[in-house]
Amino acid sequence: MGYVDEGFSIYDLSLWVEGLGVSLWIFVVSSIIGIFLGVSIGLIRYYRVPFIGKALMVISEFLKNSPVLVQLFLVYFGIPALFAIDMTPNQAAIITLSGNTAAFIAVIVISSIQAIDKRQLEAARSFALSEVVILKRIIFPQSLAIAMPMLVSLAINQLQVTSLISVIGVIDLTRVGDIVTQRTFEPFIVWPIIGATYFVLAKIIAIVGSRLEKKYSAYRVTT
Amino acid sequence: MIEIKNLHKSFGDLEVLKGIDLTITPGEIVSILGGSGSGKSTMMRCINGLEGLSSGSISVDGFDVSNKKELQAVRKKCSMVFQQFDLYPHLSVLDNITLAPINVLGENKVDAKERARALLMSVELDDKANVYPAQLSGGQKQRVGICRALAMYPDYLLLDEVTSSLDPEMTAEVLVILKKLAAEGITMISVTHEIEFAREISNRIIFLDEGVILSDLPTEQFFSKDGGKAEPRIAKFLSKMGE
């Protein structure tokens, strides 16, 4: 009866806000965990820690080269079955996206460390600087500058990837689009709005990213 | 005192140093000459542990470079200046100079900076304290490289072909500074292709050929006809270099 085609209501706006919040929350949390894990994996690999380095690399190769949707199913259905534990869709989403992000971050970390001129590291060692100081004061700031463009495009990509989590029932922005469409039968209004929301978020990341990039790369500018 | 005993160094099958024996005492200004591939730079790099030794030993004031803990003591005593400058590109000139004094010697930031400024003043770069290396000319970079080395209060200054990547004008500006340092009495070991410079500042010249020391003579004797030049390999080298 009257429940179909009632048009948009203020309720849809609150749904949109809620979905946006969930998408952002999962994106931010999985990015933070992913950066932490990815940097750790990258460093373990860079310093050639035996065995663990190799093992982590095999895992991250799998995460980089298989569909995120498949990983999501493996986590959401596989982990509870294997370990007999309960898992909410949000938990599964955060675990999956964190691991996936970490795999890409690890590669970025390694390649941007390798891009640093090795001779200055030798110079630093010749002055008796410790490996910790070299990592903190020389390797880290320079590899961050090198990695920045890659990190920005990874972040934009991972933001879009969050839309996949709607499949396992997370009420994210995409799922909200789905819900509102089903109620209003207005896909040509709903989906452009949802799409534009992702677009604006991605643009914000790009703008902030390019500012940071400029800031960290200031030293490369010759007069 | 730097003592090198029967030093051998190989890279894979290639033996670059074939038994070097050398003692350098404080106050000496030693220049190491020799053709490319003679092992000069490798020997320098062995002295502060940038290359491991294949066999033999090196000690600096009693500290053994092959011992991991003692190596840090060696490195505090020997500061190196590099052919390609190898400054830290992301740090300002001032931070390049103060990084090791603050983090290795534990100097406080204010003192370290003050000293760095004084060093920059002595090489006429006090106006460049806050720029990045990318904004400097080669000669300026190398002068910063020298300040960075001096900031560690080294007992020995190791100079590894420090003017080889500079044009003649910039070479001159770096050599002026090194001459000044030599006159101040710092112990200096310098691998160089600047024969005139070596002749002018050093009191001892070591000629390396294919991984062995061919001659080790006081400077005057090295350049005299019945001294170093009596050795055909050295005479040929010097005549090629325009001596």
CA atoms within 13 A on the CB side of B74: 26
- State the CB neighbour count (10 A cutoff) for residue B202: 23
Nearest CA in chain B to A133: B103
Q: Quick one: average pLDDT of B106-111?
A: 96
Q: Quick one: average pLDDT of A191-205?
A: 97
pLDDT at position A221: 81
Q: For domain B2-240, give the CATH number.
A: 3.40.50.300
Domain ranges of chain B: 2-240
Hey, what are B20's tokens?
Answer: 């070097």
pLDDT in tens, A132-153: 999 999 999 999 999 999 999 9
Nearest to B134 among A129, A133, A221 (CB): A221
pLDDT in tens, B140-169: 999 999 999 999 999 999 999 999 999 999
> Which chain B residues contact residue A220 at CB under 8 A?
89, 132, 134
Q: Quick one: average pLDDT of B177-196?
A: 91
Q: CA-to-CA distance for B131 and B177, rounded, in angstroms?
A: 21
Q: Quick one: average pLDDT of A64-76?
A: 95
Q: What is the ipTM of this complex?
A: 0.93
Q: Quick one: average pLDDT of A103-111?
A: 95
Nearest CA in chain A to B91: A219
pLDDT in tens, A23-40: 999 999 999 999 999 999
Give the pLDDT band (50/70/90) at residue B192: very high
Q: Is A126 close to B50, i.e. CB distance below 8 A?
A: yes
Q: CA-to-CA distance for B145 and B150, rounded, in angstroms?
A: 9
Domain ranges of chain A: 10-219
Measured in angstroms, the CA of B134 and the nearest CA of chain A are apart by 5
Q: What is the pTM of this model?
A: 0.87
DSSP secondary structure string, A61-108? HHHHSS-HHHHHHIIIIIHHHHHT----HHHHHHHHHHHHHHHHHHHH
Nearest to B72 among A128, A138, A219 (CB): A128
Express as a percent the part of chain B with pLDDT over 90: 86
> Which chain B residues contact residue A122 at CB under 8 A?
50, 86
Q: Is B76 close to A220, i.e. CB distance below 8 A?
A: no
Taking phi over 0 as left and psi of -120 to 50 as alpha, with beta for the rest, B55 belongs to: beta
Nearest CA in chain B to A223: B135
Burial code (b: 16+ CB inside 10 Å, e: under 16) for B162-177 equals bbeebeeebbebbbeb
> What are the backbone angles phi and psi of residue B57, rounded to the nearest 5°?
-145, 155
- The CATH superfamily assigned to A10-219 is MetI-like (1.10.3720.10)
